[in-house]
Structure 1
Amino acid sequence: MANPSYDVIVLGSGPGGYVAAIRCAQLGLKTAIVERENLGGICLNWGCIPTKALLRSAEIKHYMDQAASYGLKVAGTIEADLDAIVKRSRGVAKQLNQGIGHLMKKNKITVHMGEGTLTGPTSMTVAGAKGSENLIAKHVIVATGARARDLPFAPADGKRIWTYRHAMVPPEMPTKLLVIGSGAIGIEFASFYNDMGVDVTVVEMLDRVVPVEDVDVSTFLQKSLTKQGMTIMTGAGVEGLKPHANGVTATIKDNKGSVATTEFSHVISAIGIVPNTENVGLEPLADMDRGFIQIDPFCRTKSKGLWAIGDCTPGPWLAHKASHEGVTCAEAIAKEMGNADAHPHPLNRDAIPGCTYCHPQIASVGKTEAAAKEAGYDVKVGNFPFIGNGKAIALGEAEGFIKTVFDAKTGELLGAHMIGAEVTELIQGYTVGKVLETTEAELMQTVFPHPTLSEMMHESVLDAYGRAIHF
């Protein structure tokens, strides 16, 4: 029996892989996808989506705790039902996983469940429940994603030391939680468990939390989290963890060099990711840097016919970046195969928004003020606080601000940085502006609806040029 043959095989079905497969199919290419675990990958099953379901539960609890400030009375105490919260989160993931299966059928994409290993740039073996099979194609897209990085001295055991995956399905509610790392994953789980009533400590090696964000956002967030009851230690490091039957003994060096041991019930390690590129057969086929596959702007590797997208390639490691690369890659393949209607565009990394779903939320796109100055720009900076916005006050969400950074010479929008309620929804306005290469003139002339939080976006632009109306 001949080996199954395709135009494109996608290895991995996360937000990069399944989107790439769908776009390939839309472009008329015979497409297959290989997945070893769950359709939808980590993001849909164990990352972006189920964590947002958890955070939604925490948000509802937060508002219930604040009911009196909205003129409402709640009878009795408000308690978190951990089992029910986790069950809801897993149900959301299951529903979307089934949706991906439907999309594969709708687009006539063949699904091979099993462990895929490259035998060449355009061929692979797949070891699954039904045994091993050999697949060949004209093109292969590697979308194998990444996993949580373990602490070298204390790997996660799922009992007392957790990765994000363990933290989503906890066997019990922590009483005193240590979160190591203050990137998006660490801060989101810190925020979730803090809202659930857990005593949370965050340790960050660098000198500020969410260190990839604008320094003003980092400063504001640290003050907010501290006010919410968290202990935040920056410029600090965890030097040792000793799990035992009742918890974990942590040895922590603070920013003054003092070392102390503290007891915690559980620890979440959120110190970064490791690409899933070992044992895939990539070594002779692609250039690698710390395990990440090196690609050109259209996602090609050094081997003809072999492509790579998503978290197994250089960052930023975000689901929407992976999906966008999937489309770019699919269209580049279609163009190579003679489709005159395919017009791939390289990814503009400076126009990829980032969102962190803590409380308050964080969102940003483009350069920070510091990065813009380091790049040689003379900048104009606008800043507008939530307290100056009527909708924010009416919502009872007057905490936060919106900051915009412009090139003083051309008016180009270089970056936007937000912290506060629903900013993860607002950021796309500035992202569209960057893709359209807008300047301050177009943004000033745009009519923003009233009353909305989006009015602050307008005011921040006006403020950069000394024209803010409401503050």
Structure 2
Amino acid sequence: MAAKSFDMIVIGAGPGGYVAAIRGAQLGLKVAIIEREHMGGICLNWGCIPTKALLRSSEVFHLMNHAKDYGLSADNISYDLDAVVKRSRGVAKQLNSGIGHLMKKNKVTTFMGEATIPAKGKVSVKTDKGTEELTSKHIVVATGARARELPGLEADGDLVWTYKHALQPPRMPKKLLVIGSGAIGIEFASFYNTLGADTTVVEVMDRILPVEDAEISGFAKKAFQKQGMTIMEKAMVKQLDRAKGKVTAHIEVGGKVTKHDFDSVISAVGIVGNVEGLGLEALGVKIDRTHVVTDEYCRTGVDGLYAIGDVAGAPWLAHKASHEGVMIAELIAGGKPHAVKPESIAGCTYCHPQVASVGLTEAKAKEAGYDIKVGRFPFIGNGKAIALGEPEGMVKTVFDAKTGELLGAHMIGAEVTEMIQGYVVGRQLETTEEDLMETVFPHPTLSEMMHESVLDAYDRALHI
């Protein structure tokens, strides 16, 4: 059987791979995409999207419990966990079928199966019907990542869960331990805590949400503790003793180990790149701690072979993967795209309160040698926040004192995951403090706090 030839072959149909395929097709390339499990990848099926559906349910539940604060009454408030999960799975399913439709619409040839790269320019796909041989000068590896498992803390789906089990839980936890306080850990802690689980979060670093600005981390910690969470920082789970319906965690803090009992544990201690079984090493691809090493244009150093998204390293964000997918397709089609700059990519965490940031933290800006000006504005000073009943939060901006460049922005509070984009666009357009000060923000909106935070950095805040 003759090999099928394409201008570009994409391995993995997550937010990196499927977007690369669409953009390639738009540019007139003949594109094939290979997916072994679900169109849309983890993000759409088991990550970003279904978690947001769960968190929306817990947010509505939280509001129902506080109906009195809004002059409303709601009695006998309860939830049906199975129905909450069912809604979340339905949202994922709807989007999953949408990706298949997009592939058809853009005339992308789809192969469901396991891919290997036996030689440069060749891809072999094991499908239900047998093996397909494909050829292309350009192969894009977009195979994503999976949950990291620590020895002794491996998931079993019953007592110890990964994010996948936590999305379809076997029961509602009464006493929950979450190991790791990055975005995934904190989102699940927030969800289950809001629904009534007695939740403990253990973080090995000196603060929760360790990639965020220290001030935002501190604010988040206080908010979570107020909601009844137990937060343990500079702490490590040394071992888990599993018994029937019970897990005893040995947690070390400051050299001292104490034992704590839980009925459910979620492990969210990072991710591992899906680099195995493709034949990458044999081709001469460099792999560093399970991630493919690439240049700023996602090239692996092996001619015609690229890697994008989580498999190619941090930041592990769907929108980074998508943007890289577009860049790669344009590069392959002969264009001259700009490289994706990691520091101009926003991070969003959908806990309660929400957290969002872009650019340098205050500490990182100082470390980089900048002379800085920092502005802050609290939610309590904003009319819309008070009207919403969401007066807890802050917006923080970091500027280069010499040039007025916006170096970073950090927020915590209601809807900040939607607001951050204003600063992202500003940074993309190389805005200065003057541009932002002269921008008229509509009233009453939460976005006015973004304006006030800029004004505050230059001692010009009006409402505080």
TM-score exceeds 0.5: yes
Q: Which residue of 1 aligns with 2:288?
A: 289
Q: CA deviation at 1:238?
A: 0.4
Q: CA deviation at 1:291?
A: 1.5
Equivalent residue runs for 1:451-470 within 5 Å: 451-470=444-463
Partner of 2:281, secondary structure, is coil
Q: Which residue of 2 aligns with 1:374?
A: 367
Q: Does 1:388 align with 2:381?
A: yes
Correspondent of 2:421 among 422, 425, 428: 428
Query: What is the alpha-carbon distance in structure 1 between the residues aligned to residue 157 and residue 77 of structure 2?
Result: 28
8 Å Cα contact 2:153/2:267 also seen in 1: no
Equivalent residue runs for 1:428-447 within 5 Å: 428-447=421-440
Q: Does 1:21 align with 2:21?
A: yes
Partner of 2:165, secondary structure, is helix
Amino acid at match of 2:279: G
Query: What is the alpha-carbon distance in structure 2 between the residues aligned to residue 453 and residue 343 of structure 1?
Result: 38
Correspondent of 1:397 among 362, 368, 390: 390
Query: What is the alpha-carbon distance in structure 2 between the residues aligned to residue 13 and residue 461 of structure 1?
Result: 40
Amino acid at match of 1:22: I
Query: What is the alpha-carbon distance in structure 2 between the residues aligned to residue 409 and residue 202 of structure 1?
Result: 41
Q: Which stretch of structure 1 is more off in the superposition, 306-315 or 245-254?
A: 245-254
Partner of 1:52, secondary structure, is helix
Partner of 1:284, secondary structure, is helix
Q: Which residue of 2 aligns with 1:243?
A: 242
Query: What is the alpha-carbon distance in structure 2 between the residues aligned to residue 424 and residue 417 of structure 1?
Result: 10
Q: Which residue of 1 aligns with 2:3?
A: 3
Q: CA deviation at 1:242?
A: 1.6
Partner of 1:303, secondary structure, is coil
Q: Does 1:146 align with 2:145?
A: yes
Query: What is the alpha-carbon distance in structure 2 between the residues aligned to residue 239 and residue 104 of structure 1?
Result: 46
Equivalent residue runs for 1:230-309 within 5 Å: 230-254=229-253, 256-285=254-283, 286-309=285-308
Counting matched residue pairs gives: 463
Query: What is the alpha-carbon distance in structure 1 between the residues aligned to residue 131 and residue 425 of structure 2?
Result: 46
Structure 1 stretches lacking a partner, 5+ long? 336-341
Amino acid at match of 1:297: E
Query: What is the alpha-carbon distance in structure 2 between the residues aligned to residue 208 and residue 86 of structure 1?
Result: 30
Query: What is the alpha-carbon distance in structure 1 between the residues aligned to residue 402 and residue 275 of structure 2?
Result: 44
8 Å Cα contact 2:118/2:279 also seen in 1: yes
Q: CA deviation at 1:349?
A: 1.2
Amino acid at match of 2:309: G
Q: CA deviation at 1:3?
A: 1.2
Q: Does 1:30 align with 2:26?
A: no
Q: CA deviation at 1:192?
A: 0.2
Partner of 1:209, secondary structure, is coil
Q: 1:236-287: CA deviations, max 9, x gaps?
A: 1101002222121111112x33211111001000000000001111113311
Correspondent of 1:359 among 352, 364, 373: 352
Query: What TM-score, normalized to structure 2?
Result: 0.99
Partner of 1:447, secondary structure, is coil
Query: What is the alpha-carbon distance in structure 2 between the residues aligned to residue 397 and residue 109 of structure 1?
Result: 45
Query: What is the alpha-carbon distance in structure 2 between the residues aligned to residue 57 and residue 121 of structure 1?
Result: 48
Query: What is the alpha-carbon distance in structure 1 between the residues aligned to residue 21 and residue 371 of structure 2?
Result: 43
Q: Which residue of 1 aligns with 2:336?
A: 343
Partner of 2:449, secondary structure, is helix
Q: 1:67-106: CA deviations, max 9, x gaps?
A: 110010112x211211000000000000000000000000
Q: Which residue of 2 aligns with 1:338?
A: none
Q: Which residue of 2 aligns with 1:312?
A: 311
Q: CA deviation at 1:416?
A: 0.1
Amino acid at match of 1:268: I
Q: Which stretch of structure 1 is more off in the superposition, 430-439 or 277-286?
A: 277-286
Amino acid at match of 1:458: H
Q: Which residue of 2 aligns with 1:161?
A: 160
Amino acid at match of 1:56: R
Amino acid at match of 2:193: N
Q: 1:376-411: CA deviations, max 9, x gaps?
A: 000000000000000000000000000000000000
Which runs of 4 or more aligned residues in structure 1 lie more than 6 Å from their structure 2 counterparts after TM superposition?
none
Correspondent of 1:414 among 386, 407, 413: 407
- Identical-residue share of aligned pairs (%): 67
Q: CA deviation at 1:154?
A: 2.3
Query: What is the alpha-carbon distance in structure 2 between the residues aligned to residue 319 and residue 124 of structure 1?
Result: 25
Q: Which residue of 2 aligns with 1:339?
A: none
Amino acid at match of 1:64: M
Q: Which stretch of structure 1 is more off in the superposition, 378-387 or 296-305?
A: 296-305
Query: What is the alpha-carbon distance in structure 2 between the residues aligned to residue 454 and residue 140 of structure 1?
Result: 42
Q: Which residue of 1 aligns with 2:65?
A: 65
Q: CA deviation at 1:343?
A: 3.1
Q: Does 1:129 align with 2:128?
A: yes
Query: What is the alpha-carbon distance in structure 2 between the residues aligned to residue 57 and residue 313 of structure 1?
Result: 33
Amino acid at match of 1:162: W
Query: What is the alpha-carbon distance in structure 2 between the residues aligned to residue 180 and residue 355 of structure 1?
Result: 20
Q: CA deviation at 1:356?
A: 0.3
Query: What is the alpha-carbon distance in structure 1 between the residues aligned to residue 173 and residue 341 of structure 2?
Result: 41
Partner of 1:398, secondary structure, is coil
